[in-house]
Amino acid sequence: MRTGDIELSYLFTSQLDAIMHAHGTTGPEVDAALERFGNWMREIVSAAEENYDEVRVHLFSDHGMTDTTGKVACWWISNR
């Protein structure tokens, strides 16, 4: 990125997802992970803006996250 010759870049990270699966959507672990992710994204955008006239950032998620308190037998639901 620092050479200024990238036209498209794709970055995948599963760290935030893993933390939320382990700890839920709230709590100190999640707050710290969100802070790290925000700082990391700001660093990436800042580095891109130093080397490119036009920078576009699109952030996608493969799914949402919600806390659950129980278990469901999905095989039973799909076979009804």
Predicted pLDDT at 79: 66
By three-state DSSP, how is residue 43 classified?
helix
pLDDT computed for residue 76 by the predictor: 62
* Buried-exposed string 44-80: b where 16+ CB fall within 10 A, e elsewhere: eeeebeeeeeeeeeeeeeeeeeeeeeeeeeeeeeeee
Query: Which residues does 45 contact at the CB level (< 8 Å), separation at least 6?
Result: 55, 57
With a cut of 50, which residues of the chain have pLDDT below it?
none
- Is this prediction's pTM over 0.85? no
SS3 13: coil
